[in-house]
């Protein structure tokens, strides 16, 4: 499932392409993906201009001149494609939005959704999310306080969107590896200096992943060299049995609460 760096990459690239552009058409292939009848959705969107593309946690928010917001969550299997009618992918899109000669295709939205909401509804939907891991106001001290509210294992707290918004399975394992801490380590057992290390590792890993374009496999548009640039940089996630890039020990693939967990027992404690 796309996490903060993947959605931030989409946000950056779409902001350059959509902001200030008017919506010229909408095509709905799957009505369950949206939150109202297709005709009402089209009525509100067509002619409406995108003012800004924002991100909160794993959501992308398309702000519209009318004040409404298109709230996107890709969940598992969702991805976006920006192109023309000629270079579209050989896949069905659940929703397509036209902006002049270009189209934004929303693919794989079976579990994911694209909801058209008022500003207040959008705020309400996002109100329970924890802080952004890269928020400049988040300090090592406030991070420690957030984690201490949880008594379970690190992985559980890191992927809990009410604790922090935007981290999922992959980056939780990656930042634990970076910090030299086992993802199944119990939070109460962490020493203060380990908590501080985890905070700095979280920011370092997420910043690096954003910089490299995250791990989405499909480019956003033809010639896109940013999206997916982090794919080969995951050090433990989905690398069970491979040697740890830091110490050479074989990476363990484990399961916790029906989630995959990857770590190295050679250099994580």
Site of interaction with Zn ion (CB under 5 A): 244, 246-247, 249, 264, 266-267
Which among 3, 6, 8, 132 is annotated as catalytic? Answer: 3
* 17 in active site: no
* 150 in active site: no
Comparing every residue's Cβ against Zn ion, the nearest one is: 244
Which among 11, 55, 56, 58 is annotated as catalytic? Answer: 58
* 58 in active site: yes
Q: DSSP string covering the chain, please?
A: ---HHHHHHHHHHHHHHHTTPBP-EEEES-GGGSSS-HHHHHHHHTTPBEEEEEEETTEEEEEETTS-EEEEE-TTT-EEEEE-STT--SS-EEEEEEETTEEEEEE-TTS-EEEEE-HHHHHHHHTT----TT-TT--HHHHHHHHHT--SBHHHHHH-TTTSSS--HHHHHHHHHHHT--TTSBGGG--HHHHHHHHHHHHHHHHHHHHHT-S-SS-SSTT--STTTTGGG-SSTT-TTSBPTTT-PBPEEEEETTEEEEE-TTT--
Q: Which is nearer to Zn ion, 153 or 181 (CB)?
A: 181
| Shortest Cβ 85–Zn ion spacing (Å) | 49
| Shortest Cβ 263–Zn ion spacing (Å) | 8
Which among 2, 5, 183, 219 is annotated as catalytic? Answer: 2
| Shortest Cβ 216–Zn ion spacing (Å) | 27
Q: Which is nearer to Zn ion, 210 or 244 (CB)?
A: 244
Q: Which is nearer to Zn ion, 25 or 243 (CB)?
A: 243
| Shortest Cβ 182–Zn ion spacing (Å) | 11
Which among 17, 30, 197, 259 is annotated as catalytic? Answer: 259
Q: Which is nearer to Zn ion, 226 or 267 (CB)?
A: 267
* 11 in active site: no
Residues known to be catalytic: 2-3, 58, 259
């Amino acid at each position: 499932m796309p996490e903060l760096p993947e959605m931030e990459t989409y946000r950056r690239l779409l902001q350059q392409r959509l902001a200030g552009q008017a919506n010229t058409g909408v095509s709905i292939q799957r009505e369950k993906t949206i939150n109202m009848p297709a005709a009402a959705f089209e009525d509100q969107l067509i002619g409406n201009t995108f003012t800004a593309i924002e991100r909160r946690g794993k959501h992308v928010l398309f702000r519209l001149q009318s004040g409404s917001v298109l709230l996107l969550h890709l969940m598992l299997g969702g991805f976006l494609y920006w192109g023309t009618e000629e270079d579209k992918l050989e896949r069905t899109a659940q929703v397509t939005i036209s902006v002049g000669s270009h189209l934004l295709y929303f693919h794989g939205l079976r579990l994911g959704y694209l909801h058209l909401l008022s500003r207040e509804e959008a705020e309400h939907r996002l109100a329970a999310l924890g802080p952004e891991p890269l928020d400049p106001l988040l300090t090592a001290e406030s991070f420690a306080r957030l984690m201490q509210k949880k008594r379970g294992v690190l992985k559980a707290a890191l992927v809990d969107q009410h604790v922090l918004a935007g981290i999922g399975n992959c980056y939780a394992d990656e930042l634990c590896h970076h910090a030299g801490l086992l993802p199944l380590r119990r939070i109460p057992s962490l020493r203060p200096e380990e908590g501080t290390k985890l905070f700095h590792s979280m920011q370092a890993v997420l910043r690096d992943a954003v910089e490299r374009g995250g791990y989405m496999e499909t480019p956003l548009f033809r010639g896109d060299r940013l999206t997916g640039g982090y794919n080969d940089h995951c050090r433990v996630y989905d690398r069970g049995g491979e040697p740890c890039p830091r110490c050479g020990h074989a990476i363990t693939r484990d399961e916790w609460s029906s989630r995959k967990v990857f770590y190295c027992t050679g250099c994580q404690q």
